[in-house]
Structure 1
Amino acid sequence: MQKNTLKGLVLTRHAIYRHGRLLLQYFIKTADGPAIIEVEQFDVICFCKQIDSEFILSHFSTGIRIEPVSLKNFNYEDVSCVYVKSTTMLKQVLRIANDAGIEIYEADIRPEQRFLIERFIALQAEFAINAPLSQPPYNTDNHPSTHTYLASKARRTEVNVPVSMVSLDFECSPTGELYSVGLYGSHSALNEETDLYQKVIMVGESESIDNKKFDSDKLSDDDIHWVSDEVSLIKALITWFKEYDPDVIIGWAVVTFDLALLYKRCQIHQIALLIGRDEQALTWKVEDKYRPETLSLPGRVVLDGIDWIKAAFYQFERYSLEHVSQHLLNEGKAIDHVENRGQEICHLFEHNKQALAFYNLTDCRLVWDIFKKTQLLAFALERAKLTGLEFGRVGASVAAFNNLYLPHLHRSGFVAPARAASNGLESPGGYVMDSIPGFYKDVLVLDFKSLYPSIIRTFLIDPKSLVEAKFNPLEDDVDGFLEAKFNRHNAILPGLIASLSLQREKAKQDNDKPLSQAIKIIMNSLYGVLGSKGCVFHDAKLASSITMRGHQIMKQTKVWIEELGYTVIYGDTDSTFVWLGEKHQIKDINKLGEQLAHDMTVKWQQRCLDEYALTSHLELEFESHFSQFVMPTLRGSEAGSKKRYVGASKDAEGQLSLTFKGMEQVRSDWSPLARRIQYHLYFLLFSNGDVKSYLNEQLEQLALGQFDNELIFRKRLKRHVEEYTAKSSPHVKAAIRLCQITGDKNKGRRGALIEYRMTLNGAQPITAVNESIDYDYYIEKQIKPIAEPVLALLGEGFDSLSSHQIMLI
């Protein structure tokens, strides 16, 4: 039969067993809709040394074969490929090998993953179809059905198909009983012109919408599907999934809360949760571990907003939906008392279900709008295209490195090592120069563009090249650090970085921010992976050849800049801070910054060519010009601090803009009051304002209780409160007291956000309303430490403030 092909995005990938045979199953999204691809007659693969083959075979009578291959391990020993029929048998091989001290290579690569990465397939794939296996595209209920196809081959391709997405959110009682589920989405999530869909499935008696009840005109009768009870809600939702059939589900804590709750309620009612494609069930790979990495939902991708907003390097003091949506959208939840939303939700369910439906839908829409504003779906898609990680998988830098590196390594004649090679040796961290503290005018910041990836690319740092130079040394090998040498021919990692760099430059030219950000994160993670003990390629010689070369580059750059008559007052990993001097006559400072960056780049090109016969990919960029700059001292010392500074520059409209690094202003363990005051102190310092008058005014208002809402500390418990051995931490003390006041032990569980103030009785939760605030604590421990460095620059001291003196009387 003539083979046809099918192109699509690989949404989920699975290894299943049918009639005792391993089957690879891929749910893909094509231009014509979803489909299932099945690949039969596939073995689970790993590798062993050829000399160990007979020993392993002697323990099995069937189900395994071992064949020599033209590959070597990192000790230049010949290896064989081990083929077994199941992951259960693989575990037996690993047990036998471990007991005998035999190394097994690449046993952690899952078969459904290996099939794709060996073919350089990430997200976009084209499968050679042998035969369709399924029924026509609609089943007897007139619901869309997913075609199943048998395939034998696949290759990488480029394909863009519309992705349907829904934002999902449950409202429930304090005991977890489901009240309603909100659904808000589109059949083409990346197309802004596509009509949006909204629906709430609500427990209750049918009633017509009266928007006057809840001050809204955004809800109609068709938007609410009324059901009689929780069981009917769940069944209606399962039916909805069959009909609407979304590719992607998003939400806020949608895995750890919403889907976990839905699963638990289905268990209580003994309902099969068939919301995956092809009517497959939602399951968890590890019992009672409701995490994104343990979720299995065939054919659908789940993106948790909290995880992905962090993955895209957005930073917030808190990651509640209310806090993030207020910051990004200037809009919050459709409820009056967010802090008591549990009680208000119960009240609405009893007395105003229409308002609850609107609240439920608003939460869904806020998540949708956050994803749209930050382009998180596009970012997740681009990350999957680049790394070969499952679409929707967060983190997993080591797995991403393996996906990128292994197919090239195999074609170069090697298998990955069985374990890291460092044997206790560790590489130093990034270069941090001793700073020269002070208050400066005109400081330039010069940054090396992607310093560590550029070092890898320039000096040909690569696991395979390290091994080749060790066992087959050549005269032109490149010196690294810790006696490392690198073969300069056909290095893998530098080539991967070169390809990523070209893609990023094109993404910038095309203004494709999601792709540019995804590439940046991947490139910067490569050093971290090589420096991680969890990576089998980890070797201190590799990591040190990156970081120690970085030290060398930063120190030499400082020498070259100071030879021109400027002063380098600080350096940090890849940034150099250059003071132009007190009496400089430079009119166009930005032009000087560009020239300095260019000159240093040229010097490194010449140095690499002259000393190493290498092409330099080191590029220094002019990052910013601070018209005023403060490098503080360490507290109680005259030595300069590190990773802490404040700079003032002009924005596009000529307004003063402040940049804080490592200061209390950017640290969540300081009160909002301290951070606000610190910002204004430096703003006044840089704009010649009256610092002392401002501080006196703030201290007076503090004593009058006008800032009580800014005295709240917020910190999460990293473990259950009873597991803390030292109870001295303020947030732990507050958590213990909160559990006592409320009688709710869940308030002290790991991950709980503790909000507290410092009172005359120590740290107390904000619910302890009768406690007197310890204003002296906030003055001495919060305001004084941030005010003294500014006052010292003006030749003043904190004790000279009139308000402070009055408070001491």
Structure 2
Amino acid sequence: MKIAVNEQQLIKGRVLTRHAIHRHGQLVLQYFIQTQSGPVTVEVLEQEHVCFIKSSDYSVLASTDAVQGVRSAAIKLTSFSGESVIALYCADGRQLRNLVRTSKDLDVELFEADIKAEHRFLIERFIALDVEFYGQFAEMSGQTSTEPVFIATRARQAETNIHLSAISLDFECSFSGELYSVGLYGQSAEGVVYRKVIMVGTPPELEQGLEHNIESDYIEWVEHELALIERLIAWFAEYDPDIIIGWAVVTFDLALLYRRAKHHGIALTIGRDKLPLSWKVEDKYRPETLSLPGRVVLDGIDWLKAAFYQFDRYSLEHVAQVLLDEGKAIHNVDNRMDEINDLFNNDKLALAHYNITDSRLVWDIFDKTQLFDFVLERAKLTGLELGRVGASVAAFNNLYLPHLHRSGFVAPSRPASDGIESPGGYVMDSVPGLYKHILVLDFKSLYPSIIRTFLIDPKGLVEGLTLAEESTVPGFLGGRFSRNQPILPMLIKKLSEQRELAKSHSNAPLSQAIKIIMNSLYGVLGSRGCVFHDARLASSITMRGHEIMKQTRRWVEAEGYDVIYGDTDSTFVWLGNEFDANLIEQTGRYLADKINQLWQQKLAQEFALTSYLELEFETHFEHFFMPTLRGSVEGSKKRYVGIKSDTGGEPKLIFKGMEQVRSDWSPLARRVQYELYQRLFNQQDVVAYLKEVTEQLSRGELDDELVFTKSLRRNLEDYTAKSAPHLKAARRLWQVTGDEQYTKRGSRIEYVMTVNGAEPLGHCLGAIDYEYYLSRQLEPIAEPVLTILKTTFIEITSAQMSLI
């Protein structure tokens, strides 16, 4: 497709990946986008890296060789200290690196030197995910692709709803890493299923497939590992997915594929335009170091965490069982390497079924949790590269910088505070005890609401400090904020409105993405990793939060109710054990409305501000227990147990900060703790139950519930502290079996505590240490309940302990 030189075209699409490349002494910005008619490579020619320097410092830098070939220009922007700045433009990345190095040696500030050119081009134009490029197609010499490149002359933000194709990828391999097969699973926008397994080997006899009742039409057979890699490269060109998903897909699957391709001496050209997969840092196989032009890679584990899903373990087996009520298609999940090796040698059809099932499970998890939509919405909101996890500081910069520049400022080069920390969220001293009818009143997005209400803003702080106190909004630690067009409150307002709209349209992924972004804004300002960090900003948020929580408590108590606890944005109100249950919701709504009105009045009178603080009646605990600190009469913090009705009206136990929600407790401890509180709240005999459990334990009847399970988060040799029980068990397991898989990251270790300490399940030399389970597992969870009952664990179990 060729376009006349003078003909301008418009293409609209979604930005998949961004790159800055240097060609013939020029900086070229390269964007791979997906359009309605297919993928397009877009290039913006003759671009420059940009940074800024104070006008007063430029002469110092200009006396060095670092400015050779660097273009400079005076611009109408100032630093936060009010000094004019000069823009420095570098056509070459080496020039920029030399500028940064020289300025550091001279102790001269450069501003925004860390903003990458391929990102700056987009964010300065408020482009996040969807874009319109204006320009023309052209044949480019030296391109690996036969398709023309779109040469863009300008760009602007757009709105599209272009479908992005995806594939779930999963490798099976030997213990040494030699590839056996790759599973590829996907679904079209219309729901048409795609399945393929590329398998090393030859097709089995027809009778074998019939015997196993396993389809084989989705299996493609290749002679050896090299042929598998070459076929996969060709497959990527044929199927051409925009997105690759998987489980540890970067750190395991793609890292393994890269190493095996390197072993065979072939380029792994699975990117668009036949470009290779590569790593920005050799031997550092992390999502942030991966480069795969034109394709987005999403790891299921990372994105579940980014969307705030929480699981005891993040193995595919565990998450699939929890979310899908389905697991891997293999008999022995914990020792699957042995079974995979056996299947490869003796039953490749079963291995293919296992491989494609893993790929499908990952897809189904993404579908069930709406992760695809969440990823897209987050990219639209933040301007981060599609698929980039975390990066709260970068997201803040993307949102804030274009507005800051239009307000006449460049970003600071470093945080204003170093070592001056703002206090954390407000946590009230609790009143321990056993209660009925506890209301929880929550401030909706408290910190974002404080930012919006009190006009807390980096630019506003800079301007406010130059204005008369009476014309500003007071903060803390000497901070004052201008009332004139603050940026951050405006962004909060826009996000809040978008979230309400998302809720009204039942768009859960967008609502969740906005909530996470809004709540991260305080964290960014409180982090010294952010150049906008200033203790006056962070403290004006958290200390104002303390003030709000204390005043709210006073207003609730003025209504005649007791506040037994408060934590960051939640106030726990005791209505009284004999309170009429029919009036619970009415009372909760009344208190929230009343306090919201009082805040509106107070802020209008004292500060001439509109209050965006919004207290909500969050929940009602029918029964509630606030424990004491262990060995003390003082109330605990961030720890409680309550029972409330779920959406179906069924009572549900809620544990906060207690052992029930921790993964390093035995199944016995979890079960007993759950039963203890059920009995406590239902006025059943707790003491008799504990006696029965301890007797069963001493007789060896509960041994199956004493097994601890913990995964290695890194390779065994990489741990600095070696004394943790699961590490000791892993070392023992390796010594006994000779199997190195037990020393590798992700390995699941099962062990019990014996008189010899932690020993791996099935390889114990010592007897089970029942006293350990009594004193270190059951006693800590029983003591808070027994304190209420005026007895102790020792008194109840002394007879059983003497038998052990």
- The structure 2 residue matched to 1:55, chosen from 53, 60, 75, is 60
3-state SS of the aligned residue for 2:470?
A: coil
Corresponding residue for 1:424? 419
Corresponding residue for 2:618? 623
Letter in 2 for 1:198: R
Q: Normalization by structure 2: what TM-score?
A: 0.96
Is the 1:474–1:487 contact (alpha carbons within 8 Å) kept by the matching residues of 2? no
Corresponding residue for 2:98? 92
**Structure 2 portions without partners, runs of 5+:** 1-5
Letter in 1 for 2:89: Y
Give 1:49 shift.
0.6
- The structure 2 residue matched to 1:69, chosen from 68, 72, 75, is 75
- Assess, with a 3 A threshold, how the Cα gap between structure 1 residues 171 and 784 changes in structure 2: closer, same or farther: same
Give 1:797 shift.
3.1
Is the 1:799–1:805 contact (alpha carbons within 8 Å) kept by the matching residues of 2? no
- The structure 2 residue matched to 1:261, chosen from 246, 252, 256, is 256
* 2: CA distance, partners of 1:496 / 1:415: 18
Corresponding residue for 1:158? 159
Tell me whether 287-296 or 790-799 shows the greater mean CA deviation.
790-799
* 1: CA distance, partners of 2:701 / 2:139: 72
- The structure 2 residue matched to 1:637, chosen from 609, 632, 651, is 632
Give 1:244 shift.
0.2
Indicate yes or no: 2:691 matched with 1:696: yes
- Assess, with a 3 A threshold, how the Cα gap between structure 1 residues 589 and 255 changes in structure 2: closer, same or farther: same
Indicate yes or no: 2:771 matched with 1:765: no
Tell me whether 691-700 or 71-80 shows the greater mean CA deviation.
691-700
Deviation per residue, 1:456-504 (Å, 9 max, x gap): 0000000000001123446310000001000011000000000000000
* 2: CA distance, partners of 1:128 / 1:559: 60
Corresponding residue for 1:39? 44
Letter in 1 for 2:121: F
Give 1:54 shift.
3.1
- Assess, with a 3 A threshold, how the Cα gap between structure 1 residues 447 and 44 changes in structure 2: closer, same or farther: same
- The structure 2 residue matched to 1:202, chosen from 196, 199, 202, is 199
Is the 2:170–2:246 contact (alpha carbons within 8 Å) kept by the matching residues of 1? yes
Give 1:588 shift.
1.6
Corresponding residue for 2:117? 111
3-state SS of the aligned residue for 2:334?
A: helix
Is the 1:71–1:410 contact (alpha carbons within 8 Å) kept by the matching residues of 2? yes
Is the 1:209–1:354 contact (alpha carbons within 8 Å) kept by the matching residues of 2? no
Corresponding residue for 1:185? 186
Aligned 1:216-227 pairs, distance under 5 A: 216-217=213-214, 219-221=215-217, 223-227=218-222
Indicate yes or no: 2:565 matched with 1:560: no
* 2: CA distance, partners of 1:180 / 1:204: 9
- The structure 2 residue matched to 1:515, chosen from 506, 510, 520, is 510
Give 1:95 shift.
1.3
Is the 1:167–1:250 contact (alpha carbons within 8 Å) kept by the matching residues of 2? yes
- Assess, with a 3 A threshold, how the Cα gap between structure 1 residues 807 and 315 changes in structure 2: closer, same or farther: farther
Corresponding residue for 2:792? 797
Is the 1:482–1:541 contact (alpha carbons within 8 Å) kept by the matching residues of 2? yes
Give 1:96 shift.
1.1
Indicate yes or no: 2:223 matched with 1:228: yes
Corresponding residue for 2:657? 662
Give 1:676 shift.
1.7
Corresponding residue for 1:26? 31
Give 1:719 shift.
5.9
Give 1:726 shift.
5.1
Is the 2:695–2:800 contact (alpha carbons within 8 Å) kept by the matching residues of 1? no
Corresponding residue for 2:3? none
* 2: CA distance, partners of 1:663 / 1:46: 50
Is the 1:444–1:577 contact (alpha carbons within 8 Å) kept by the matching residues of 2? yes
Aligned 1:346-745 pairs, distance under 5 A: 346-473=341-468, 475-585=470-580, 587-717=582-712, 721-722=716-717, 727-743=722-738
Letter in 2 for 1:638: V
Tell me whether 712-721 or 767-776 shows the greater mean CA deviation.
712-721
**Structure 1 portions without partners, runs of 5+:** 140-144
Is the 2:442–2:570 contact (alpha carbons within 8 Å) kept by the matching residues of 1? yes
Give 1:262 shift.
0.2
- RMSD across aligned C-alpha pairs, in angstroms? 2.1
- Assess, with a 3 A threshold, how the Cα gap between structure 1 residues 147 and 315 changes in structure 2: closer, same or farther: farther
- Assess, with a 3 A threshold, how the Cα gap between structure 1 residues 214 and 52 changes in structure 2: closer, same or farther: farther
Is the 1:274–1:281 contact (alpha carbons within 8 Å) kept by the matching residues of 2? yes
* 1: CA distance, partners of 2:739 / 2:94: 44
- Assess, with a 3 A threshold, how the Cα gap between structure 1 residues 583 and 701 changes in structure 2: closer, same or farther: closer
- Assess, with a 3 A threshold, how the Cα gap between structure 1 residues 138 and 393 changes in structure 2: closer, same or farther: closer
- The structure 2 residue matched to 1:9, chosen from 6, 9, 14, is 14
Deviation per residue, 1:639-684 (Å, 9 max, x gap): 0000000011122333221111000000112222211211111112
Is the 1:34–1:147 contact (alpha carbons within 8 Å) kept by the matching residues of 2? no
* 2: CA distance, partners of 1:794 / 1:472: 61
3-state SS of the aligned residue for 1:618?
A: coil
> Sequence identity of aligned pairs in percent?
61
Is the 1:466–1:485 contact (alpha carbons within 8 Å) kept by the matching residues of 2? yes
Is the 2:16–2:296 contact (alpha carbons within 8 Å) kept by the matching residues of 1? yes
Is the 1:146–1:277 contact (alpha carbons within 8 Å) kept by the matching residues of 2? no
Corresponding residue for 1:142? none
Give 1:712 shift.
2.5
Give 1:147 shift.
4.5
3-state SS of the aligned residue for 1:436?
A: coil
Letter in 1 for 2:116: R
Is the 1:731–1:756 contact (alpha carbons within 8 Å) kept by the matching residues of 2? yes
Is the 1:66–1:81 contact (alpha carbons within 8 Å) kept by the matching residues of 2? yes
Indicate yes or no: 2:85 matched with 1:79: yes
* 2: CA distance, partners of 1:628 / 1:608: 36
> How many pairs were matched up?
797
* 1: CA distance, partners of 2:572 / 2:786: 24
- Assess, with a 3 A threshold, how the Cα gap between structure 1 residues 215 and 709 changes in structure 2: closer, same or farther: farther
Is the 1:696–1:804 contact (alpha carbons within 8 Å) kept by the matching residues of 2? no
Aligned 1:137-148 pairs, distance under 5 A: 147-148=148-149
- Assess, with a 3 A threshold, how the Cα gap between structure 1 residues 138 and 22 changes in structure 2: closer, same or farther: closer
Letter in 2 for 1:23: V
3-state SS of the aligned residue for 2:648?
A: coil
Letter in 1 for 2:367: K
Tell me whether 245-254 or 676-685 shows the greater mean CA deviation.
676-685
Is the 2:144–2:273 contact (alpha carbons within 8 Å) kept by the matching residues of 1? no
Tell me whether 53-62 or 641-650 shows the greater mean CA deviation.
53-62
Corresponding residue for 2:307? 312
Letter in 2 for 1:68: A
- Assess, with a 3 A threshold, how the Cα gap between structure 1 residues 151 and 649 changes in structure 2: closer, same or farther: same
Letter in 2 for 1:42: Q
* 2: CA distance, partners of 1:573 / 1:437: 18
Give 1:776 shift.
1.3
* 2: CA distance, partners of 1:361 / 1:531: 45
Give 1:260 shift.
0.2
Letter in 2 for 1:698: V
* 2: CA distance, partners of 1:263 / 1:679: 47
Give 1:792 shift.
2.9
- The structure 1 residue matched to 2:235, chosen from 218, 227, 240, is 240
- Assess, with a 3 A threshold, how the Cα gap between structure 1 residues 723 and 274 changes in structure 2: closer, same or farther: closer
Letter in 2 for 1:615: T
Corresponding residue for 1:281? 276
Give 1:363 shift.
0.2
Deviation per residue, 1:381-430 (Å, 9 max, x gap): 10000000000000000000000000000000000000001132110000
